[in-house]
Amino acid sequence: MDIILVPFLIVMKMLINFMTGVVLVSVLLGWLVVADILSTNNKLIYYIVDILTRISNFMLNPIRRRLQSICPSFDLAPLALILWLSFCELVIARILARFCL
């Protein structure tokens, strides 16, 4: 059983790390674009920001719909998603620690 489960959990942990990075970079790039430090007139920056925004919005929009009624003036969805992903990563790490001992 652990022959399949351990590699699966390792891949899941890597995917969670990737998703966390995408959300963080997307938020930071969004701030830099709003602050006019990065210009979306540059096609490369525009495509990078667009791709990262599309990927992160796919994960953030369901959370935004639920949190919009609680705090409509702040976008807490990235924080909530990162906390949830961190929780899931810790759970996976604990399961992996049990199998590897």
- Give the tens place of pLDDT for each residue, 9-33: 999 999 999 999 999 999 999 999 9
Secondary structure (DSSP) of 43-77:
HHHHHHHHHHHHHHHHHHHHHHHHHTTT-TTS--H
pTM reported for the whole predicted model: 0.87
Question: Tokens representing 92?
Answer: 């996976």
Position 21, amino acid = G
Q: Is 36 left (phi over 0), alpha (psi -120 to 50) or beta?
A: left
pLDDT tens digits for range 32-65: 999 999 998 999 999 999 999 999 999 999 999 9
